[in-house]
Amino acid sequence: MEAFFGIPALVVIAWLGGSSVKITSGGQSRLVERLGKYDRQLTPGMSFVMPVVERVVSLESLKERVLDIPPQQCFTRDNVSIEVDAVVYWQLLEHPRAHYAVDNLQAAMVNLVLTQIRAEMGKLDLDQTFTTRQEVNEVLLRDLDQATDPWGVKVTRVELRDIHPSKGVQQAMEQQMTAEREKRAAILRSEGEREAQVNEARGRAESLVLDAKARKEALVLEAEAEAQQQQLIAQAKALAAGELAQALQTNPQAAEAMRLLLASEWMGMGEQMAQAKGGSVLMVDPQSPAALLTALKNLQQQG
């Protein structure tokens, strides 16, 4: 009879002893209530819980977790319907506050995030929702961190993943983008044509300038060459006249030979002088060597 009662007693003692030992893994937390009232938080390792009197009411992870926010329909400031989904990274810092402050922590966080997203999207125009995403993430992070602080939760990061306008808005945006591309293409074409015309006109102007410079240089060179030629001819005539005058002075017989030579060429020279365009003509008597000598001296002085 004693053996019969001894076996159940051992089973009860073993069950009570096994249920009183709790092993908490790293990165986890257990909350213990004693007689229905919060008593303590079990840290990682082995802990003892009094059977019947105490019980574990919550087991949570203290690691950083990811909360996936489903797509939510929102309206922007310019009354455009969009769908926004996000991802929230959070960590449980104070297990007791989170357990006793809110009934369902994750559901409460999801609804809080959705409310904050709708509020922020309502402050922006459609275009701003695409260009100010980083600023919206920072605002959501700050507001959610403040809102979840009484729950013992730390929100570490908030990321808006996708922003999808309605189909009608997407079609309008695509048409607008197509029109913008066509506008930019037309502007680029017109600028290219204008630049080509400007380059062509500049090329023609430069060509005319170069031609004018070339003609000017050619005229200058031609004038200089003609001047040098006239100077050389004048110098040669002056030199010849001087030698002729000297020969007439030193040799009296040369006067007679000169008269004969001038008489044979006088007619041809007179015709050339008569056909000259301008200038003065000096008439000299070929029978008078003295007059010829005087004319040659004057010609030498002029040269």
pTM of the predicted structure, to 2 decimals: 0.51
Q: What is the pLDDT of residue 174?
A: 64
Q: What confidence tens digit (pLDDT) does each residue in 41-64 have?
A: 888 878 878 888 888 888 888 889
Helix, strand or coil for residue 45? Answer: strand
Q: In the predicted model, is pLDDT for residue 198 greater than 50?
A: yes
Work out the pLDDT band at 31, boundaries 50, 70, 90.
Answer: confident
Q: What is the pLDDT of residue 87?
A: 92
Do residues 255 and 289 make contact, with C-beta atoms less than 8 angstroms apart?
Answer: yes
Roughly how many angstroms between the first and final C-alpha of the chain, as a whole number? 170
Mean pLDDT, residues 167-175 taken together: 67
CA distances from 79 to 74, 131, 165, 250 (A): 9, 18, 11, 124
Lowest mean pLDDT among 155-159, 200-204, 235-239: 235-239
In CATH, the number for domain 64-165 is: 3.30.479.30
Q: In the predicted model, is pLDDT for residue 150 greater than 80?
A: yes
Helix, strand or coil for residue 64? Answer: strand
Give me the percent of the chain exceeding a pLDDT of 70.
71
Q: What is the pLDDT of residue 178?
A: 74
Residue 70: both structure tokens together: 């489903």
Domain ranges of the chain: 2-61, 64-165
Work out the pLDDT band at 12, boundaries 50, 70, 90.
Answer: very low
